[in-house]
């Protein structure tokens, strides 16, 4: 049992300089847990509502004072001196307190920050590492000796909303498929990233800008150029493309989809043509994961995409699924995906995210646990990926502290526990 003495929250700045929320949960025994809520830029329409102030004179309307006030007043008053037997009991209380279908009243950022802070405090009361506490939130708990580290998919090149739209698709990531540890994954990534930075400097005549998540963002003229440069960087670093280091792509198709047409650069493609284009990229490049290959509302074509490429790559749903159990159930029924991109703030509480994770895993899907473009130095996501047996983790590149905090936490867990890393393919 966990008795809450009080809650508190305040604004902090995320990795893009925009406000987000940090909350604290003080238990009656004096234990304090704190956690920060991330924020997305490339967001799906079905995501829980991130409450912003809307005051154009302060942070361009992006302030979070309203959400902070909800934690400090309404939520705090409702939970003070209240005992909760579990995380799910606390989260359900918050959901009912909000009373809206998308957490619009209190704000998903307010609710999530409390859900996470409570988890940190509860783990401390139980005298267990956070990943072990997270593991207990799943119905199919795993023995500590059978937990694994997720394999990282790491941003190399970025476009789309993460980089100002110089190229339509959002990210090209590298996956160190042959690496046998997290430590080795980081060393491989460093080599490929440095090779890519050198290559883009030589090819484009200037140091490439970096995007929200740390990926390099040179002025690519086409998706093929972006993917080709990624392969060249892998080779330049001394690795075999597809054998030692593969590629993953986040197409984020919703952002260039309009009136049932995909506006991919100068091309205008219907759903069938877009599937053919993705298949053509798979023919030419060592791609093992395709995220949001189609738009979030193009349900008619997602099963066709899955049938066309699902036997040779992950068909990963982000905006399509929004970590929402209802949408995941539909995708399972329609065979529209083979993997879930799990973002806790898309749904708003740990308990609902755990349900989404369980649905995906029980179906045999891979689960990629993902950070957001607006992140903080908080590293709870690394523990979540371990505790929930994520097959992959998607944090960003290796050049910014809010990304490195998660990678460093994974290295710390590896050092202390000697957990093995997930093998690819699983």
**Residue 55 clears pLDDT 90, i.e. is over it:** yes
> For 143-168, what is the mean pLDDT?
84
Average pLDDT over the chain reads: 94
Catalytic annotation present for 377: no
For residue range 330-358, list pLDDT tens digits in order. 999 999 999 999 999 999 999 999 999 99
pLDDT at residue 341, as a whole number:
97
**Residue 148 clears pLDDT 70, i.e. is over it:** yes
Question: Which of 44, 397, 337, 365 lies closest to 217, judged by CA?
Answer: 397
DSSP collapsed to 3 states, the chain: CEEEEEEEEEEEECCCCCEEEEEEEEECCCCEEEEECCECCCCCCCCCCCCCCCCCCCHHHCCCHHHHHHHHHHHHHHHCCEEECCHHHHHHHHHHHHCCCCCCCCCHHHHHHHHHHHHHHHHHHCCCCHHHHHHCCCCCCCCHHHCCECEEEEEEEECHHHCCCCCCCCEEEEECCCCCCHHHHHHHHHHHHHHHHHHHHHHHCCCCCECCCCCECCCCCCHHHHHHHHHHHHHHCCCCECCCEEEEEECCHHHHEECCEEEECCEEECHHHHHHHHHHHHHHCCEEEEECCCCCCCCCCHHHHHHHHCCCCEEEECCCCCCCHHHHHHHHHHCCCCEEEECHHHHCCHHHHHHHHHHHHHCCCEEEEECCCECCCCCHHHHHHHHCCCCEEECCCCCCHHHHHHHHHHHHHHHHHCCCECCCCC
Catalytic annotation present for 260: no
For residue range 235-266, list pLDDT tens digits in order. 999 999 999 999 999 999 999 999 999 999 88
**Residue 83 clears pLDDT 70, i.e. is over it:** yes
pLDDT at residue 41, as a whole number:
61
Question: Which of 66, 65, 166, 67 lies closest to 113, judged by CA?
Answer: 67
Over the range 279-299, which residues count as b (16 or more CB within 10 Å of their CB) and which as e?
Answer: bebbeebbbbbbbbbbbbebe
**Residue 76 clears pLDDT 70, i.e. is over it:** yes
**Residue 42 clears pLDDT 60, i.e. is over it:** no
The active-site residue, picked from 34, 213, 291, 355, is 213
Which range among 11-25, 84-98, 160-174, 362-376 shows the weakest confidence by mean pLDDT? 160-174
**Residue 104 clears pLDDT 90, i.e. is over it:** yes
For residue range 206-238, list pLDDT tens digits in order. 666 777 888 898 989 899 999 999 999 999 999
More confident residue, 416 or 45: 416
Percent of residues, the chain, with pLDDT higher than 70: 96
The active-site residue, picked from 22, 103, 343, 406, is 343
For residue range 157-203, list pLDDT tens digits in order. 998 776 676 788 999 999 999 999 999 999 999 999 999 999 999 99
pLDDT at residue 212, as a whole number:
82
Q: Name the pTM for this structure.
A: 0.95
For residue range 281-325, list pLDDT tens digits in order. 999 999 999 999 999 999 999 999 999 999 999 999 999 999 999
> For 141-166, what is the mean pLDDT?
83
For residue range 11-32, list pLDDT tens digits in order. 999 999 999 999 999 999 999 9
pLDDT band at 413; cut points 50, 70, 90: very high
Residue found by looking up tokens 């267990």 in the block: 128
């Amino acid at each position: 049992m966990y008795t809450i003495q009080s809650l508190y929250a305040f604004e902090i700045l995320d990795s893009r300089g925009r406000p987000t929320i940090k909350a604290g949960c003080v238990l009656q025994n004096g234990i304090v847990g704190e956690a920060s809520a991330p924020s997305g830029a490339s967001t799906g329409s079905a995501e829980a509502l991130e409450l912003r102030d809307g005051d154009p004179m302060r942070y361009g309307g992006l302030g979070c004072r309203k959400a902070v006030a909800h934690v400090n007043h309404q939520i705090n008053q409702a939970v003070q001196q209240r005992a909760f037997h579990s995380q799910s009991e606390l989260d359900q209380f918050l959901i009912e307190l909000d009373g809206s279908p998308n957490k619009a009243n209190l704000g998903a950022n307010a609710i999530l920050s409390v859900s996470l802070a409570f988890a940190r405090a509860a783990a401390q009361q139980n005298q267990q590492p956070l990943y072990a506490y997270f593991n207990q939130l799943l119905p199919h708990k795993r023995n500590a000796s059978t937990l694994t580290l997720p394999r990282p998919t790491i941003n190399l090149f970025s476009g789309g909303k993460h980089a100002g739209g110089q190229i339509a698709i959002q990210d090209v990531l590298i996956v160190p498929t042959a690496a046998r540890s997290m430590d080795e994954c980081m060393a491989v990534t460093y080599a490929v990233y440095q090779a890519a930075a050198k290559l883009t400097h030589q090819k484009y005549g200037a140091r490439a800008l970096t995007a929200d998540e740390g990926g390099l963002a040179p002025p690519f003229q086409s998706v093929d150029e972006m993917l080709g440069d990624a392969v060249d960087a892998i080779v330049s670093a001394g690795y075999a493309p597809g054998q030692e280091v593969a590629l993953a792509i986040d197409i984020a198709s919703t952002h260039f989809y309009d009136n049932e047409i995909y506006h991919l650069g100068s091309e205008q493609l219907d759903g069938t043509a877009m599937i053919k284009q993705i298949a053509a990229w798979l023919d030419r490049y060592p791609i093992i994961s395709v995220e949001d290959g189609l738009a979030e509302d193009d349900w008619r074509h997602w099963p066709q995409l899955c049938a066309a490429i699902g036997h040779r790559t992950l068909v990963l749903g982000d905006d399509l699924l929004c970590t929402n159990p209802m949408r995941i159930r539909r995708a399972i029924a329609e065979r529209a995906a083979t993997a879930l991109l799990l973002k806790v703030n898309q749904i708003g509480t740990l308990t609902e995210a755990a349900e989404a994770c369980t649905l995906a895993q029980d179906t045999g899907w891979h689960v990629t646990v993902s950070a957001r473009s607006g992140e903080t130095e908080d590293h709870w996501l690394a523990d979540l990926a371990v505790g929930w047996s994520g097959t992959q983790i998607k944090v960003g590149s290796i050049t910014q502290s809010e990304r490195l905090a998660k990678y460093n936490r994974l290295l710390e867990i590896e050092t202390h526990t000697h957990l093995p890393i997930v093998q690819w393919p699983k």
